[in-house]
Amino acid sequence: MVADRMHAASPESTAIVDAVLDYSRRRMLAADVPLDKPQTPVELRRLTGGGTITAQGLGAQRALATFEHVLAPACLTTSHPLYLSFIPTAPTMAAIAFDLVVSASGLYGGSWVEGAGAVHAENEVLGVLAREFGLPESAGGVFVQGGTIGNLSALVAARETAKDRLLAAGRELPQRWKIVCSTEAHSSNKSAARVMDADVVLVPAGADGRLRADAVREALLEHGDAVCAVVATGGSTNFGIVDDIAGIAALKDELDFWLHIDGAYGLTAMFAPEARHIFAGVERADSLIVDPHKWLFAPFDCCALLYRDPDGGRRAHTQHAEYLDTLTDADDFNPSDYSIQLTRRPRGLPLWFSMATYGLDAYREAVSATIALTRRIADEIASRPELTLVRDPELSVVVFERDGWERADYDRWSAELLDSQHAFVVPSSHAGRPNTRFAILNPLTTFEDLVGILDTMA
C-alpha cells in the first residue's frame, strides 16, 4: 500500500533519509552559505514548473532538488553574519544538529507521561534561566512558539489571577480588563489585549524611550482594580531600550499588580556581567519571556515563558476533557498546562543540548562580544560626518541616519546591498524620520563587516 511506503522502513525510505541528511549536513557545515533573497510568486511558479504537489509525486530526489535550488534560495538566511535587520537568529551548530533529533525521535512535549525525559531537560534550562533572572527556585514555565504566544499566555494568567483575587475579596469584577504598557511596548502586547478583549492603557515613555515608575503609578491609581497586568519591556526591538524595571517593580511595595517583563529580545543581555545592572528589578517579576531563538542561539521557534508562581499559569491554562483525565488527575508537571497551547513539540531541547554541550560560560562570552561590537561600531558611526546616531545603544541595536537621505534613498541602498549579496539591512524610522539600524546578535559578525556596510553610504 502507498501508506506503507510513506511510513515503513524500506530501501526507498533509506534513500530519502540519506538524501535529506546529506543535504542537511552540507548546509550546516557550509562556510559560504549565501544571504539569498526573495522571488516573486510568478517567478517561483515558473521555476517550480507550475507546481510541486502532484497525484503521483515528484519523488524525493526531485523534490529535494527543487527545494535546494529553487525554494531555499528564495528564503533569506537569517543566521548569516550580515543579516542585520529585524532581530536575526544565530543558532549554534549543536542546536541546529539537535533540532533534527527532536523531529526524528517522534517526541511529544505536552505531558510528563509522554515526554518525561524531554520535559526534564527543558525544565533544567528553564531553571537556569530563572536563576539567571533572579527568580525564586520555585519558578517555572514552558517553552512556547514565540514572544507573541508567550506574552498572551502570561497576560491571560495575570487576568485570571486578578479575577480570583477580586472574587476572593468579595469585590466586583471590572466590565473591561486593562493592561498597562508603554507606547513603545512591542505590538504583541497590544495584540494579546485584542485577543483577550481587554483595553490597553498606553503610558507615554520618557524622552529616552523608557517607561518610568511615576507614569505607571498614575495609571494604576486611575484604573484601579481594572488593571490585570503591567508590562515592562526588557529591550525594545527597535532600539534595545530597557524600561525602568527597578522603579516599576518597587511600586509593588505600595500597589498590588502583576508585573510582566517582555524580554523577548533583550533579556538575554543579563548573561553578560557588564549588562546585568540594566535589568535591576527583573527578579520581582510575576512572569517574563525571553526568546532563545533571538540572542540565546537556538533555532526557530523558541520562547521561554517563566512564572514566578507556576500555579498561576496552571490555573489559567489547564484544559479539561474526558480523554485528558489521565493527565489532569495526576500530579505530574505537564508543560501544556502553562500556556494556551495544548499540542507542543519539545522546542526547548535544541537549546538544552547546546547549553549542555558548550556550557554557560560560552554563552556569556558570546553575548558580551556582541555588546562590545555594538559599542565599537556606534563609536565608528559617531565619528563619520555623514552619519548621525539616533541614540547611544544600550544593548546590541544601533540606529543611525545618513544625513540628507530620504526614505527612497534608504530603500535604494538597502535593495542594492541585498541584490549584491553584501548584506541585509532594511530601512526603519523613528518619530517620522527615516533611518536604518544594525541588529547585532551573531557572534560571527565582525567590525570589518559593519564598516564595509557603512562605506557604501559614503
Q: Which of 65-69, 317-321, 370-374 has the lowest mean pLDDT?
A: 317-321
Q: Which whole-number Å values give the CA distances from 86 to 11, 241, 257, 268, 350, in the listed order? A: 44, 15, 32, 16, 23
* Mean pLDDT for all residues in the chain: 94
| Number of Cβ atoms within 10 Å of the Cβ of 389 | 16
Which CATH number is 399's domain given? Answer: 3.90.1150.10
Residues 113-158: tens digit of each pLDDT: 999 999 999 999 999 999 999 999 999 999 999 999 999 999 999 9
Q: Is residue 93 included in any domain, yes or no? A: no
Provide the residue type at 107 as one letter. Answer: L
Q: Residue 434 has what pLDDT?
A: 97
Residue 1, pLDDT above cutoff 60: no
Q: Is residue 332 included in any domain, yes or no? A: yes
Our CA angle for 82, 85, 86, nearest 5°, is: 145
Q: Indicate the residue among 342, 357, 372 that finishes a domain.
A: 357
Joined together, the cell numbers standing for residue 307 give: 512564572
Q: Which of 330-339, 427-436, 449-458 has the lowest mean pLDDT?
A: 330-339
Secondary structure of 80-141 in HEC code, one letter for each residue:
CCCECCCCCCCCCHHHHHHHHHHHHCCCCCCCHHHHHHHHHHHHHHHHHHHHHCCCCCCCEE
Q: Residue 330 has what pLDDT?
A: 73
Say whether both 236 and 264 belong to one domain: yes
Give the length of the chain. 458
Q: Omega of the bond prior to 309 within 30 degrees of 0, cis?
A: no
Q: Is residue 94 included in any domain, yes or no? A: no
Q: What's the rounded mean pLDDT across residues 342-354?
A: 95
Residues 296-340: tens digit of each pLDDT: 999 999 999 999 999 999 999 988 777 676 667 677 889 999 999
Say whether both 325 and 261 belong to one domain: yes
Pairing mode, strands 287-290 and 259-262: parallel
Q: How far apart are CA 419 and CA 236, in angstroms?
A: 29
Q: Is residue 78 included in any domain, yes or no? A: no
Residue 342, pLDDT above cutoff 80: yes
Q: Indicate the residue among 357, 391, 424 that finishes a domain.
A: 357
Q: How far apart are CA 146 and CA 302, in angstroms?
A: 6
Q: How far apart are CA 404 and CA 401, in angstroms?
A: 9
- Residue percentage of the chain with pLDDT more than 90: 89
Q: Indicate the residue among 306, 327, 357 that finishes a domain.
A: 357
Q: What's the rounded mean pLDDT across residues 201-218?
A: 95
Say whether both 170 and 315 belong to one domain: yes
Are 367 and 268 in contact by the 8 Å Cβ rule? The answer is yes
Write the DSSP string, 191-247. HHHHHHT-EEEEEPP-TTS---HHHHHHHHHHHGGGEEEEEEEBS-TTT--B--HHH
Write the DSSP string, 259-270. EEEE-TTGGGGG
Pairing mode, strands 199-203 and 287-290: unpaired
Q: Is residue 38 included in any domain, yes or no? A: yes
Say whether both 20 and 168 belong to one domain: no
Q: Is residue 102 included in any domain, yes or no? A: no
Q: How far apart are CA 110 and CA 333, in angstroms?
A: 10
Say whether both 328 and 380 belong to one domain: no
Eight-state DSSP code of residue 68? I
Are 309 and 286 in contact by the 8 Å Cβ rule? The answer is yes
Q: How far apart are CA 112 and CA 93, in angstroms?
A: 28
Are 95 and 351 in contact by the 8 Å Cβ rule? The answer is yes
Q: Residue 324 has what pLDDT?
A: 72
Q: Is residue 1 included in any domain, yes or no? A: no
Which CATH number is 317's domain given? Answer: 3.40.640.10
Eight-state DSSP code of residue 40? -
Q: How far apart are CA 105 and CA 353, in angstroms?
A: 15
Say whether both 19 and 126 belong to one domain: no
Are 228 and 158 in contact by the 8 Å Cβ rule? The answer is yes
Q: Which of 4-8, 180-184, 364-368 has the lowest mean pLDDT?
A: 4-8
Say whether both 284 and 153 belong to one domain: yes
| Number of Cβ atoms within 10 Å of the Cβ of 183 | 11
Write the DSSP string, 319-349. ---GGGHHHHTS----GGGGSS-SS---TTH
**Edge-to-edge strands, sheet with 178-182:** 140-144, 303-307, 287-290, 259-262, 227-233, 178-182, 199-203
Domain range for residue 16?
12-70
Say whether both 269 and 414 belong to one domain: no
Are 210 and 202 in contact by the 8 Å Cβ rule? The answer is no
Q: Which of 186, 159, 188 is nearest to 174 (CA)?
A: 159
Number of independent structural domains in the chain: 3
Q: What's the rounded mean pLDDT across residues 230-250?
A: 96
Say whether both 158 and 285 belong to one domain: yes
Q: Residue 3 has what pLDDT?
A: 58
> Would you give the end-to-end CA distance of the chain in angstroms?
65
Phi, psi for residue 214 in degrees, rounded to 5: -65, -40
- Decide: helix, strand or coil at residue 157: helix
Say whether both 353 and 394 belong to one domain: no
Residue matched to cell numbers 544565530: 90
Eight-state DSSP code of residue 70? I
Say whether both 260 and 143 belong to one domain: yes
Q: How far apart are CA 336 and CA 296, in angstroms?
A: 23
Work out the pLDDT band at 363, boundaries 50, 70, 90: very high
Q: Is residue 243 included in any domain, yes or no? A: yes
Say whether both 139 and 263 belong to one domain: yes
Q: What's the rounded mean pLDDT across residues 106-112?
A: 93
